[in-house]
Homo-oligomer: A and B are copies of this chain.
Amino acid sequence: MRADAVSRAVLEQLRELHCLEPEQTVCCALSGGADSVCLLRCLLELRPVLGITITAVHVNHHLRGAESERDRTFCQQLCAGLGVRLAVYDVNPAARAAQEHCSEELAARECRYAAFAQVQADWIATAHTASDNLETAVHRLVRGASLHGLTAIPPKNGRFLRPLLRVTRRQVEQYLESLGQTYVTDSTNLTDAYTRNRIRHQVIPALEQLNPSVERTVSYTLRSLRREDDFLHQQAQAAYAKCHTGKNTLSGLETLHEALQFRCIAMLLEEAGISCEAPLLERLAALARQGGRWNLSGAVYAVGKSGTLTIETVQLPEPLPEAIPLQMGENRLFSGFVLHARLETVSPAENVANIHKKFANACLDYDKIKGEIFLRPRQSGDRMQLSGRGFTSALKKLIQANLPPERRRTAHVLADADGVIFAEGVGCAARVCPDGETRRLLVLEILGKC
């Protein structure tokens, strides 16, 4: 009775996808574990009803030594016994992980899907269950997700089908038991070991105590979310087509429902290759409404104004040069400006306040400067003490606090033998500030682009 429920659920799932046609070939991705063995047996059971051809593919990851060989042999014997044609692919995720500097899990997944890509079949069926789906949904919820993310594992994605999505892990085991069908058990858990296992062993059991059929219950919820997400996606695409009035620009956002505004902004960010998180979306939606600028990363800004949102990239500066000695007169700055340096003599009667009024730009006490003055970019370890403060600060922090992101990398610094005496946007170090004793002023002016 229970076993029957499994093939019925698989049949229902396949029928609702409206994609399988008679005489097509479905290739079952077979690891040898309970889920994939159940899927294979179930597809074979349904073969007469669906009129399809079943094949199988086993990917040997060679990550678990003798156990990997055991799994391959098991799959070969199982398929031989069932009269199913099996393709075996050998992959090397360990090498790929080393080469691409990624985790073995990720490399294994990539290798597996690369192998699947070579399979000659109309469809490839993978054995994701309702239990996997619940775990994925909880995982996404915990990390923060959009409606789309919460819909978890899609029953159909390209030519991949997941016919077991309405079947729980327990049902899988009952089905195999009713058939007297054995399977292998993976001694490790390749995917997302830590998080996935925590969810499986701690969160899900707690949820099952609240509702023993939580997997089935949630699978209904996920189906409903998938339908609604699909509708929203259609609506958002139509809205995007209207609002996307130029490269990196959305106009007329204020005429859309907020839900569509957010989806359109997410699509704009995706197009620009910017990762799109919930707090950022909220900020950009507010930006489009209220106007303003927001730095997205490096030289990239979002600019909002009365329902229009644009992603702008500020011109990137030239490569940074080495330090050059400051010369009186014009110094070409690598950000395309010109720094004009000159010496002024101050009469003893003038006080500091007046000096600052007179020279709107930076003024340093020339006689307090030690040795030669260099013009250079900020270096790591630069510190300076500002006037009126009893401590030195990391220059990096001062620049972050005073300069917009796109100018931080190319911020100019003047340094003498003892270190930084002046930094663009920040001002001059306390030790070279003019005072009542100052006689010679080094006046710095930044002139427009050269």
Q: Which residue of B lies closest to A149 (CB)?
A: B221
A299 CB within 8 Å of chain B: no
**Cross-chain contact A147 with B217 (CB below 8 angstroms):** no
Q: Which residue of B lies closest to A211 (CB)?
A: B142
CB proximity of A349 to chain B, nearest CB, Å: 47
Distance between Cα atoms of A137 and B145 in the complex (Å):
14
Which of A223-231, A356-364, A367-375, A430-438 participates in binding chain B? A223-231
**Residue with the highest number of chain B CB atoms closer than 10 Å, among A202, A221, A278:** A221
**Cross-chain contact A234 with B257 (CB below 8 angstroms):** yes
**Cross-chain contact B227 with A143 (CB below 8 angstroms):** no
With contact pairs A224-B262, A231-B260, A232-B231 given, residues A206 and B209 touching in the complex (Cβ less than 8 Å): no
With contact pairs A203-B203, A259-B231 given, residues A195 and B210 touching in the complex (Cβ less than 8 Å): yes
A218 CB within 8 Å of chain B: yes
**Cross-chain contact B147 with A214 (CB below 8 angstroms):** no
A328 CB within 8 Å of chain B: no
**Residue with the highest number of chain B CB atoms closer than 10 Å, among A203, A207, A227, A228:** A228
Chain B residues contacting A259 (CB-CB under 8 Å) are 227-228, 230-232
* Copies of this protein, total: 2
Chain B residues contacting A142 (CB-CB under 8 Å) are 207, 210-211, 214, 217-218
**Cross-chain contact A217 with B257 (CB below 8 angstroms):** no
Distance between Cα atoms of A217 and B140 in the complex (Å):
11
CB proximity of A424 to chain B, nearest CB, Å: 29
A279 CB within 8 Å of chain B: yes
**Cross-chain contact A221 with B257 (CB below 8 angstroms):** no
A78 CB within 8 Å of chain B: no
Chain B residues contacting A325 (CB-CB under 8 Å) are none
Q: Which residue of B lies closest to A145 (CB)?
A: B221
**Cross-chain contact A207 with B217 (CB below 8 angstroms):** no
Chain B residues contacting A257 (CB-CB under 8 Å) are 227, 230-231, 234
Distance between Cα atoms of A143 and B212 in the complex (Å):
10
Distance between Cα atoms of A218 and B206 in the complex (Å):
19
Distance between Cα atoms of A425 and B210 in the complex (Å):
42
Distance between Cα atoms of A202 and B209 in the complex (Å):
11
Chain B residues contacting A198 (CB-CB under 8 Å) are 206, 209-210
A248-272 interface mask toward B, CB cutoff 8 Å, 1 = contact, 0 = none?
Answer: 0000000001111010000000000
**Cross-chain contact B258 with A227 (CB below 8 angstroms):** yes
A179 CB within 8 Å of chain B: no
Which A186-229 residues have a C-beta within 8 angstroms of B?
A: 195, 198-199, 202-203, 206-207, 209-211, 214, 217-218, 220-221, 223-225, 227-228
Q: Which residue of B lies closest to A227 (CB)?
A: B259
Distance between Cα atoms of A182 and B223 in the complex (Å):
47
A69 CB within 8 Å of chain B: no
CB proximity of A239 to chain B, nearest CB, Å: 11
CB proximity of A402 to chain B, nearest CB, Å: 21
CB proximity of A166 to chain B, nearest CB, Å: 11
A141 CB within 8 Å of chain B: yes
A292 CB within 8 Å of chain B: no
With contact pairs A206-B203, A232-B232 given, residues A217 and B144 touching in the complex (Cβ less than 8 Å): yes
Chain B residues contacting A137 (CB-CB under 8 Å) are 141
**Cross-chain contact B209 with A144 (CB below 8 angstroms):** no
Chain B residues contacting A202 (CB-CB under 8 Å) are 206, 209
**Cross-chain contact A220 with B141 (CB below 8 angstroms):** no
With contact pairs A202-B206, A210-B199, A214-B142 given, residues A147 and B224 touching in the complex (Cβ less than 8 Å): yes
**Cross-chain contact B262 with A147 (CB below 8 angstroms):** no
Q: Which chain A residues have a beta carbon within 8 Å of chain B's beta carbons?
A: 137-139, 141-147, 150, 195, 198-199, 202-203, 206-207, 209-211, 214, 217-218, 220-221, 223-225, 227-228, 230-232, 234-235, 257-260, 262, 278-279, 281-282
By Cβ-Cβ distance, the 9 closest A-B pairs, closest first, are: A220-B278, A231-B259, A144-B217, A202-B206, A227-B259, A228-B259, A231-B257, A203-B206, A142-B210
